[in-house]
Amino acid sequence: NGLLALVILYSSRSRQKNEPPLDKGFIPWLGHALEFGKDAAKFLTRMKQKHGDIFTVRVCGGYITVLLDPNSYDTLLDDKVSLDFSRYAQVLMQRIFSLRLPNHNPDTERAWMEQHFQGPSLARLSSTMHLHLQTQLRDEERSCSPADWRQNGLFSLCYSLLFRAGYLTLFGAENSNDVTALATVYKEFRTFDGLLAKLARSTLKQEEKRAAGLSQERLWELLSPAWLSRGKGSESRSWQQSYLSHLQTEGVDTEMQRRAMLLQLWATQGNAGPAAFWLLSFLLTHPEAMRAVRKEIRGLRLQEDGALQRHPLDTLEHHSTPVFDSVLSETLRLTAAALITREVVQDKTLRLASGQAYHLRQGDRVCIFPFLSPQMDPQIHHNPQTFQYDRFLNADGTEKKKFYKGGERLKYYTMPWGAGDNMCVGRHFAVSGIKQFVFMVLSRLDLELCDPTAIVPPVNPSRYGFGMLQPDGDLEVRYRLKTLH
Ligand code: HEM
């Protein structure tokens, strides 16, 4: 009865004066949940066409207001009194990672992360990453020769290489050379990653639920090496070990420490591989872009003492690479699709750049989805569906930062890393890893499409809202060791 009363209560909500347009959908309680989960980009585009830049939809008994005007994002991101980030984050943590951190303090966590992903720590991590990428690629090369082509899916190739190198960099410990263990962690991670969107939406079928649970257990086990209980001297601590000490200081119990490792594995390894995949896919299918990037690499090589060296790109991060940077920004514009969510903890009036004000109700959630706007907004980016490698370049070759909507210059013209206090803390590390990887692949391997007429595979639409998108299917490539002259 209680449930029924609740259903009726929720169903009977109607739009009040000064509230955003309300769209409850036809299905009681669920509202738009199915359409939202199936393809959030398509659904929200439809709502935007129907209602404009702000609207409220019903999803699983709750109400979500979606704001799609980038000139108004700061009003939402800056409000830390009426809007709360961590409550919904905690819900997801519990749902996806079975993780409960009751005394969780997002500010100390954030401060810890920032300290470990910038300055000297960042430089150390990036150079460790470089070494591991070289080793991983060399292992891949060992099974290659200049005479024989190897064939593989590009997504598999990028994800596995970047995952392995990233994992060794942050989680690597004594047994770093254990190739089998590394392969097991990667395989298990992909299983878990494949179920993640459904976990978040609680839409797993019985069998999938079991698979997800098993995968979680295995990963918790794999991520808790022997030193976890022993503790270890501080000289050669990995990032993971430092993070564990941090959790201990915060009073997190051992079981939750174990579980937190999987959350961190996903946050740190789930995005770079897919990003590198999209970037190389776009280069392989856009010869003009590939030529421009190769030209830039050749230029860097010449700068290095004017001669070809064996590993000429070791100091890559210190070079400016505007063409590559534009290619990366353009790739992320097309394929980074996080949903930024806040919970309304007290009634609030949201004042938009247009001057209009809307009332938000306590208990609702409010989201921005930068993928739709600014990233795919035709008023901001001409032909937004098209990959245009020099979209973020000025005519003089410098980075283009001026973009407009309705004559108004935009602060947010692309937002792959999110914004405000929850902006990706690992972004510099991510960029340096992707850059190292792409430059290594292009300098050491001959890489080409198996089918020269192949196109970039479509996006798996269930992943909108979870960071980097992933392809439905893969792009078959072949590669062989470059003959060095
Ligand atoms: C958070 C994007 C790679 C570490 C985020 C957020 C976004 C994002 C949008 C904010 C999520 C939110 O607001 O809920 C990306 C993209 C990446 C990438 C597009 C690659 C192309 C990485 C890497 C690392 C990393 C390589 C670390 C090694 C983190 C962490 C957070 C985060 C720890 C949580 C920050 C917090 O709690 O405040 N990332 N990320 N990310 N990212 Fe990344």
The Å distance, Cα 467 to ligand 1 centre, comes to 8
Beta strands in 68-106 (DSSP E): 83-84
Which string of DSSP letters, residue by residue, matches 358-426?
Answer: EEE-TT-EEEE-TIIIIIT-TTTSSSTTS--TTTTB-TTSSBP---EETTEEPS-S--TT--GGGS-TT
pLDDT of 165 higher than 80? yes
Nearest to 132 by CA among 450, 432, 485: 432
pLDDT of 305 higher than 70? no
The Å distance, Cα 112 to ligand 1 centre, comes to 14
Task: Decide: 274 in ligand 1 pocket, CB within 6 A.
Answer: no
Best of 262, 279, 424, 434 for a ligand 1 pocket test (most atoms within 8 Å of beta carbon): 424
**Residue-level pLDDT at 20:** 97
Q: What is the ipTM of this complex?
A: 0.97
pLDDT band at 8 (very low <50, low <70, confident <90, very high): low
Residue minimizing CA distance to atom 40 of ligand 1: 424
pLDDT band at 312 (very low <50, low <70, confident <90, very high): very low
Task: Decide: 467 in ligand 1 pocket, CB within 6 A.
Answer: yes
Q: What is the pLDDT of residues 175-218, one digit of tens each?
A: 556 778 899 999 999 999 999 999 999 999 999 999 999 999 99
Task: Decide: 113 in ligand 1 pocket, CB within 6 A.
Answer: yes
Neighbours of 314 (CB within 10 A): 14
Task: List the structure tokens of 325.
Answer: 């940077």
pLDDT of 463 higher than 70? yes
Nearest to 190 by CA among 170, 211, 209: 211
**Residue-level pLDDT at 449:** 98
Which of 99-108, 159-168, 380-389, 468-477 bottoms out in mean pLDDT, i.e. has the lowest?
99-108
**Residue-level pLDDT at 317:** 63
Q: What is the pLDDT of residues 315-327, one digit of tens each?
A: 566 688 999 999 9
The Å distance, Cα 430 to ligand 1 centre, comes to 9
The Å distance, Cα 395 to ligand 1 centre, comes to 31
The Å distance, Cα 28 to ligand 1 centre, comes to 35
What span, in angstroms and rounded, lies between the C-alpha atoms of 17 and 361?
12
What span, in angstroms and rounded, lies between the C-alpha atoms of 464 and 398?
31
Q: What is the pLDDT of residues 275-296, one digit of tens each?
A: 999 999 999 999 999 999 999 9
What span, in angstroms and rounded, lies between the C-alpha atoms of 184 and 199?
22
pLDDT band at 308 (very low <50, low <70, confident <90, very high): very low
Q: What is the pLDDT of residues 55-84, one digit of tens each?
A: 999 999 999 999 999 999 999 999 999 999
Contacts of 425 (CB under 8 A, 6+ apart): 110, 113, 114, 117
Higher pLDDT, 227 or 445: 445
The Å distance, Cα 264 to ligand 1 centre, comes to 10
Task: List the structure tokens of 437.
Answer: 């990887």
In the chain, % of residues over pLDDT 70: 91
pLDDT band at 307 (very low <50, low <70, confident <90, very high): very low
118 DSSP 8-state letter = S
Average pLDDT of the residues in 344-355: 96
Do the beta carbons of residue 376 and residue 330 sit within 8 Å? no
Q: What is the pLDDT of residues 144-157, one digit of tens each?
A: 777 788 999 999 99
Q: Which amino acid is at 415?
A: M
Task: Decide: 430 in ligand 1 pocket, CB within 6 A.
Answer: yes
* Closest approach atom of ligand 1 to CA 416: 19
What span, in angstroms and rounded, lies between the C-alpha atoms of 310 and 305?
12
* Closest approach atom of ligand 1 to CA 418: 9
Q: What is the pLDDT of residues 225-269, one digit of tens each?
A: 665 555 555 456 889 999 999 999 999 999 999 999 999 999 999
Residue keyed to tokens 């585009």: 45
The Å distance, Cα 424 to ligand 1 centre, comes to 4
Nearest to 165 by CA among 485, 441, 483, 357: 441
Residue minimizing CA distance to atom 38 of ligand 1: 422
352 DSSP 8-state letter = -
Predicted structure pTM score: 0.94
Output the average pLDDT for the chain: 91
**Residue-level pLDDT at 482:** 84
